[in-house]
Amino acid sequence: MSKPVIFILLGPNLNMLGIREPHIYGHETIQDVEAMCRKEAATHGFDIVFEQSNHEGDLVTWIQEALKNAKGLIINAAAYTHTSIAIYDALKMLENTVSIVEVHHSNPKEREPFRHFSYVEPHAFAHFAGHGARGYIMGLEALAERFGADK
């Protein structure tokens, strides 16, 4: 039996983790986050696809790939969370087949008003905001619990 595949997708500017506003986003780099996710995923028997892009179309393409290749998707769409109908539409395709988790390093609802709305939120069964890089681990744990309940 093959391992469940989890896509972990990060949006714009998250390649600058550890440099960009560490008082908000923490000191972990994107490489730290990926290593942490790989280690946690292994404890649950998951394989992961970990991707980051500053380009909306890349994220949409990876979401579409998740439809065919993933059991779960963890997404931090970053600024596209609040602006991307394309990401909304892509995630909508996954709703009945791929379990979606929304993650944000900070809590957008405690920041500027334009960050309070999420195009990702309606599609996700779990949301982790304000936990820094730990949010991805929480997302993997939520997926493991959900898939355990699916057995």
Cα torsion through 118, 107, 71, 51, rounded to 10: 90
Catalytic-residue membership of 80 = no
Q: pLDDT for 125-143, tens place per residue?
A: 999 999 999 999 999 999 9
State the Cα–Cα distance between residues 74 and 5, nearest whole angstrom: 11
Strand ordering across the sheet containing 5-10 = 47-52, 5-10, 72-76, 99-104, 126-129
Q: How many residues does the chain have?
A: 151
What is residue 12's three-state secondary structure?
coil
How much is the pTM? 0.93
What is residue 150's three-state secondary structure?
helix
What is residue 123's three-state secondary structure?
helix
Q: Which domain holds residue 84?
A: 5-150
Number of domains in the chain: 1
State the Cα–Cα distance between residues 94 and 77, nearest whole angstrom: 16
Selected catalytic residue, list 23, 82, 88, 104: 104
Better-scored residue on pLDDT, 19 or 150: 19
State the Cα–Cα distance between residues 101 and 109, nearest whole angstrom: 17
**Which CATH number goes with the domain that contains 119?**
3.40.50.9100
Q: Which token pair is 72?
A: 């779960």
Q: pLDDT for 16-58, tens place per residue?
A: 988 887 777 778 899 999 999 999 999 999 999 999 999 999 9
- Class of residue 43 by CB neighbours under 10 A (exposed 0-12, middle 13-18, buried 19+): exposed
